[in-house]
Homo-oligomer: A and B are copies of this chain.
Amino acid sequence: MADQATKTFDVIFEGKGVATGKMRNDISVEWPMMKESFELATDEGPFHGGDGTAPPPLALFTAALTGCLMTQIRAFAKRLKLDIKHVEVKARLHWEGEQVGMEPYVTAPVGFSLDVDIDSDATGEQLIHLLDCAKKG
């Protein structure tokens, strides 16, 4: 059947960051395929030499990961014809850094956990399949 054909598609985002304040970065993000653009910014608090005018990069990263999973859960629920009443996700992102004296430190991820709460009449099996699809998406 024509609608069962396998197709591939590209997802491309472009960012242009400019250092502005002491630690602030203004970043224009474009999604060319959708002709959409977004003005975003990061900063650091005074402890890290910034002015706290925007969230730090890792706060955006946490929101991106959390939002991405939540968006895929709802988008794929439609495709799988599952009725989803509500979704909440609690995420915990953990990195560890190592430094010698005041030399630049090295960080690595320790673990990212996402606790997903879905209010739905679907079966547990259906919801596990949905979650599996959302992770792959």
Contacts and interface: CB of A to CB of B under 8 A. Distances in A.
Interface residues of A, number: 84
Contacts of A42: 63-64, 67-68, 70-71
B90 A14 contact: yes
Number of copies: 2
A124 interface: no
Contact of A25 (B8, B57, B67): B67
A25 B59 contact: no
Contacts of A90: 14-17
12 contacts: A6-B99, A9-B99, A11-B58, A15-B89, A38-B59, A41-B67, A49-B75, A56-B67, A58-B64, A61-B61, A72-B104, A79-B102
